[in-house]
Amino acid sequence: MPGVFTGFRTLDVRFPTSADLDGSDAMNVDPDYSAAYLILETDAGDGLEGHGFVFTIGRGNDVQRAAIEALRQYVLGRDVDAVLADLGGMWRELVYDAQLRWLGPEKGVMHMAIGAVINALWDLRAKRAGLPLWQLLSELSPQEIVDLVDFRYLTDALTPDEALALLTAVEPGRAERAATLRANGYPAYTTSPGWLGYSDEKLSRLAKEAVAEGFTQIKLKVGADIDDDVRRFALARSVVGDGVRIAVDANQRWDVDEAVAAIERLREFDPWWVEEPTAPDDVLAHAAIRRRAAPVRIATGEHAHSRVLVKQFLQAEAIDVLQLDSTRVAGVNENIAILLLAAKFGIPVCPHAGGVGLCELVQHLAMFDFVAVSGTTTDRNIEYVDHLHEHFLDPVRIVRGAYAAPAAPGFSAQIRSETLVRFGFPDGEAWKEAQ
């Protein structure tokens, strides 16, 4: 299918979620879940588009969309086959634009914008191949996977040869694990009961429902007021019993001493992990909290801005659980680097999700990890939040507490066209009604 890229359209899509306090936590008190959205079009005549986006929680969408726009010259007019055949090369081109790289480097708004472009390209490549992305990635050779990753700054922790050896070692079991995945899905946990703005009644009702639906882990938001946290945790524990894991998430609220003191209070309810206890790029603080609060597990990663920061968390033995995010870093390629690092250090990846479309995207990365990288789902699960899935063409399907493996071609990234219009900001009907 020869062709060139003819369209690079960005859209501002926002959902007025702050009205119901869905998604509210100790740091993010009034989120309007949003997507700075990208559609790539070609003249190949196959009708296929690449869709990608960055998740933001409202006004940041203005900035994020402008950052994606800054990359249009890298895509428009380029040969589609050539670009899609070398997405490792495309990643390097985008990341090493010297003038734009100055804004990071390799972190923040510009880096996330690169993620939107890279993810949209992967969506298109998977659609053209007629495969869901997890399967496309899982069928690449170990060498092809290694070639997607930029190992600059990583080789003190992971070399290309080590990555190749790691991928080759699990290659023989790929077909069997893919079959297991299709049969059983990938384990999930739910954060839906635990938003900080919810009443005790709503918390306890949703926690009960989660267990009835087959979830074996839930998560509660904490960090605003420790007495409230203790009350809500005790309530949740009494509702779900001892057999269900309860993780807690402080969303960066504490300093080190505060975190240690809070964990001391919460310990009796057996937290499965304590998430984002402090500043998300403070490696040494996480390491100190982990040491002082042991054996309570420490989790972070949804705000880890690059593979380099993840490398440090792992080298410093600062975390027990790594929570990569599908739109925080520069797309699929960098998340493959992160999955390889986690596999090397033997740290389980339990991806961050929720928001708009983060569940839809990140399931592909976790499933690829199971089939072709770590080779296991032990103590691994993907976050699930029951919001906004109805707006996606190929929404996630949760069956008895697990993500069913997507079968449709692509990255499950595509939002319905009527939603893109209705929730377009500021002119969509949904926003006119909200005023």
CB of 303 to Mg ion, least distance (A): 9
Nearest residue to Mg ion on Cβ basis: 249
CB of 252 to Mg ion, least distance (A): 9
CA pair distance 213, 210, nearest whole angstrom: 5
Q: Please say which residue, 249 or 369, places its beta carbon nearer to Mg ion.
A: 249
Q: One of 107, 127, 219, 221 is an active-site residue; which one?
A: 221
Give the single-character DSSP code of 435.
Answer: -
| The two structure tokens encoding residue 400 | 């008895």
286 is catalytic: no
Q: Please say which residue, 128 or 245, places its beta carbon nearer to Mg ion.
A: 245
SS3 content of the chain, % helix, strand, coil (to 5): 45, 15, 35
Instruction: Give the DSSP H/E element, type plus range, for residue 290.
Output: helix 283-293
* C-alpha distances out from residue 328 to 29, 43, 105, 217, 335, Å: 20, 30, 14, 24, 9
Kindly tell me the burial class for residue 2, based on how many C-beta atoms sit within 10 Å of its own C-beta (0-12, 13-18, 19 or more).
Answer: exposed
- What is the CB neighbour count within 10 angstroms for residue 156? 8
CB of 220 to Mg ion, least distance (A): 11
CB of 373 to Mg ion, least distance (A): 23
* b/e map 221-251, b = 16+ CB within 10 Å: bbbbebeebbebbebbbebbeeebbbbbbbb
Q: Please say which residue, 11 or 57, places its beta carbon nearer to Mg ion.
A: 57
Cα radius of gyration (the chain): 21
3-state secondary structure of 211: helix
Kindly tell me the burial class for residue 316, based on how many C-beta atoms sit within 10 Å of its own C-beta (0-12, 13-18, 19 or more).
Answer: middle
List of residues contacting Mg ion (CB under 5 A):
249
What residues contact 20, with CB distance under 8 A and at least 6 apart? Answer: none
432 is catalytic: no
What residues contact 408, with CB distance under 8 A and at least 6 apart? Answer: 132, 393, 394
- Alpha-carbon 379 to chain mean position: 17
CA pair distance 299, 320, nearest whole angstrom: 6
- Work out the end-to-end distance of the chain between its first and last CA atoms, rounded to an integer number of angstroms: 46
Q: One of 344, 352, 364, 387 is an active-site residue; which one?
A: 352
Q: Please say which residue, 101 or 303, places its beta carbon nearer to Mg ion.
A: 303
CA pair distance 92, 185, nearest whole angstrom: 33
- Alpha-carbon 185 to chain mean position: 18
CB of 285 to Mg ion, least distance (A): 16
CB of 25 to Mg ion, least distance (A): 7
- Alpha-carbon 206 to chain mean position: 23
* C-alpha distances out from residue 304 to 199, 281, 365, Å: 31, 6, 16
- What residues are labeled active site? 221, 352
